[in-house]
Structure 1
Amino acid sequence: MPLKTIVKNWPFIPCVAVVIFSASCTSAPATSDPVASAARCADVAASVKDAGFLDKVTVDCTGGNAVLTSNTYPDHDLMTGIIGTNEQVPVPAKAYAAPVPLEPVLGTTPQTRDAALGVAVNGVPIFDYTGGGEMTIAELSHHQAQHDTLQTNQLDVCGGHAGRGDDYHYHVKPKCMIAQMKNAGDAAIIGWAFDGFPIYGDKNPDGTPIENGGLDVCNGKRDKNFGYRYHTSAGAPYIVQCLMGEVADLRDLPRTAPLVSASGQGAPPGEPPRGGVQNLVFTQQKDGSRSMDYTYDGQAYYIRYKPSGKPDCYNFTTRTVTNKGAVKTGEYCR
């Protein structure tokens, strides 16, 4: 499948690097350095292509950004290993558009948000490691143990879970995605932050260990090729926890559209059962039906859904601890 990479409304420039990926180097608002933008567009496109996720992600370079569009639903194991469940399930979020600036500018003040800070090359959003809301600048330098999604057993074996919007995303290194990457290795880019800088694994791209104290408060460091880069790490904060590049307005960055009922009411978020659940299993069927089953205090609970026949809509049947075991049904749509 050819990679969809479009660079719109630029003045004519040489596009050798982009042509490798069958890109169109024609036309979007003129940028301050169209050659640099085209090169960065090619870098983002190559990171998706080389990883082998062309069937999951498209890359359109337009308006000064490389926009990675996906349904945020990865093709790997989901939810296995979660104990501290929030009683939410992953539901595809079609047309999630993640912008990566083509001409990033490194800033001096970290920026945080209670939402995605970047996107993995398989199209899944990347959050910071916490689950307790937006961190203040002062909190960035202190481990928030009580909100650590890894240490509180909220994450699956792949480093992700479903959030309050039933949206799957990563909070730590995406182990299962990396295992799927065709170009897996220290030199492979595993994602892009929303300030335009790349994300790598636990080591430098040349395979050397990152020196003790070599990463800043956002889990990044200077890079000779991109100006700056982020890394994952074995210890907290595990992954990008803030943005060091300039972002004009964090409110403009994407959020996954919530599930809503026919009446327009949002799907109510779950509440983590005290002490966690046991034997949580998430199963998927070819017809799009999915089920998360688990036990709590010896009782069986579940969240099940299947496509309703309407675009991006699903029929749910649930029995949760949050709802005190009451069976509830309803149709919800993105």
Structure 2
Amino acid sequence: MINRYLLIAILGGLAFSNAAQAHGDHCEAIAASVADAGFDDSVTVTCTDAHAVLRSDTYPDHEMMTGITGTNEQVPVPADYAAPILLDPVPGMMPLTRDSALGVAVNGVPIFDYTAGGEMSQSDLAHHQAHHDTIQTGQLDVCGGHAGRGDDYHYHAEPTCMIAQMENSGPGAVIGWAFDGYPIYGRLNPDGTAIPEGALDICNGQPDETFGYRYHTSEDAPYIVQCLMGEVAAFDTLPRVRVLTAVDGGSVSLGRPPSGGVEGLAFTESPDGQRSMDYSYEGEDYYIRYAPSETPGCYDVTTRTVTNAGEVVSGEYCR
């Protein structure tokens, strides 16, 4: 007869081995999702004891800002960003939401809920916030993203341009990861079948045989991950992109969508790093132009915006 203490030790060792294997498998799955999509040249994946950390500059190699009418008068500026994805996901007791990213796409671009920053509360999860819907208010570009209040590019809806770039594009491809460790897929099940109406829960997810749970994008609101269903320790301390700050200490004006929307918004970038966002509003031309300054991580910016009543403002801004 096997000594019962020896049996406990054997079973405990097996449990530890299985947990370690699952931990390693999850790390490999996250790294593979980035590599298989073809983004491992711009996104690094490093696994620690608790997380797979996806590091990028949040600046995608696809069209940006085209199609926006409800501009917040912010522009996309590269930002060093490290997104921690849990390696041992655990279902939570209640959905979690925050006024910042809930996960990250496989190209390193942060993923937010469908509302603009700070406009989704716990009580809002069960009700569509049409007046804060970034699609319905014209705040998103044709790729499902825009520049937020930190002048950082991120997605609020299905990242269509990124998906078109993915080398493994298809229903079985993971398009991103939520901070709670669960994967994000497109509008179909991984086997290519349609998702039945009503199958997705309040966070836009459903059970998954491989990972335990998975999120999806959807044609209708909430379009993408609306909240997190897994446990996340220190949820409020998850990373945020550092905002641009004026070198002279002046404040940065946070734009708001001009009433009625703008026309002809176009974002351009030259090989030397010169960037410009131009648009018109009520017959007047406005712009935000910026380029790297002599100070690393800083930009020389000149603007003429609706927010500043057409006044030309210049300065150096840094993260």
Q: TM-score range by the shorter chain?
A: over 0.9
8 Å CA contact 2:89–2:182 kept in 1: the answer is: yes
Shift of 1:274: 1.1
CA contact (8 A) 1:305 1:314 kept: yes
Q: 2:260 aligns with which of 264, 268, 275?
A: 275
Q: Choose from 76, 87, 91 the match for 1:106.
A: 91
Partner Cα separation in structure 2 for residue 328 and residue 197 of structure 1: 44
The equivalent position to 2:28 in structure 1, one of 37, 42, 45, is 42
Corresponding position of 2:58: 72
1:192 aligns with 2:177: yes
Identity fraction in percent: 66
Change in 2 beyond 3 A, CA 1:32/1:324: farther
Is contact 1:31–1:64 with CA below 8 Å preserved after alignment? Answer: no
Provide the rounded CA distance (Å) in 2 between the counterparts of 1:265 and 1:58.
35
TM-score of the two chains, using structure 1 as the length reference:
0.89
Q: Which has the higher contact order (CA 8 A, sep 6+)?
A: 2
Give the corresponding residue for 2:157.
172
Deviation by residue 1:247-282 (Cα, 9 ceiling, x = unmatched): 112122110011112234452211221111000000
Instruction: List alignment gaps of at least 5 residues for structure 2.
Output: 1-15
CA-to-aligned-CA distance 1:209-232 (integer Å, 9 cap, x gap)? 001110000000000000000000
Q: Are the equivalent residues in 1 in contact too, given 2:188–2:195 (CA < 8 A)?
A: yes
Q: Superposition pairs for residues 231-270 of structure 1, below 5 Å?
A: 231-270=216-255
* Cα RMSD for the two superposed structures: 1.4
Partner AA of 2:62 in structure 1:
H
1:90-101 aligned at under 5 Å gives the runs 90-94=76-80, 96-101=81-86
Kept in 1, the 8 Å contact 2:253–2:307? The answer is: no
Alignment partner of 1:43: what SS?
A: helix
> Counterparts of 1:301-316 in structure 2 under 5 Å?
301-316=286-301
Q: How far, CA to CA, are the matches of 1:309 and 1:181 in structure 2? A: 35
Aligned with residue 52 of structure 1, among 38, 52, 65:
38
Does the C-alpha gap of structure 1 residues 31 and 281 become closer, same or farther in structure 2, counting only changes over 3 Å? Answer: farther
Taking the aligned partners of 2:117 and 2:20, their CA distance within structure 1 comes to 40
Partner of 1:297: 282
Match of 1:86 in 2: 72
- The alpha carbon displacement at 1:108 in A equals 2.8
Counterpart pick for 2:207 among 209, 212, 222: 222
Contact 1:31/1:37 (8 A) holds in 2: no
Q: 1:235/1:262 Cα in 2 relative to 1: closer, same or farther (>3 Å)? A: same
TM-score w.r.t. length of structure 2? 0.93
Q: Secondary structure of 1:158's partner?
A: coil
Could you say if the C-alpha distance between residues 326 and 150 of structure 1 is closer, same or farther in structure 2, counting changes exceeding 3 Å? Answer: same
Partner Cα distance (2:257, 2:125) in 1: 25
- Higher radius of gyration, 1 or 2: 2
Structure-1 separation of matches of 2:250 and 2:30: 37
Quote the Cα distance in structure 2 between the aligned partners of 1:222 and 1:119.
20
Once residues 250 and 57 of structure 2 are traced to their aligned partners in structure 1, the CA distance between those partners, rounded to angstroms, is 22
Q: Following superposition of structure 1 onto structure 2, how do residues 97-176 of structure 1 map, counting pairs within 5 Å?
A: 97-131=82-116, 133-176=118-161
SS at match of 2:125: helix
Contact 1:303/1:320 (<8 A) preserved: yes
| Residue pairs, 1:315-326, within 5 angstroms | 315-326=300-311
Q: How has the CA–CA distance of structure 1 residues 250 and 299 changed in structure 2, closer, same or farther, with 3 Å as cutoff? A: same
Q: Deviations over 1:37-81 (max 9, x none)?
A: 111000000000000001210000013100000000000000000
Q: Which residue is 2:13 aligned to?
A: none
Q: Aligned letter for 2:41?
A: D
Residue segments in structure 1 that go unaligned for 5+ positions in a row:
1-29
> Judging changes above 3 Å, is the alpha-carbon distance between structure 1 residues 35 and 84 closer, same or farther for their aligned structure 2 residues?
same
Residue 236 of structure 1 and its aligned partner are, at CA, apart by 0.3
- Determine the C-alpha separation between the residues in 1 that align with 2:87 and 2:187: 25
Q: Distance in 2 between matches of 1:229 and 1:110?
A: 14
1:321 aligns to what SS in structure 2?
Answer: coil
Residue 311 of structure 1: how far off its partner (Å): 1.1
What amino acid is the match of 2:121? T
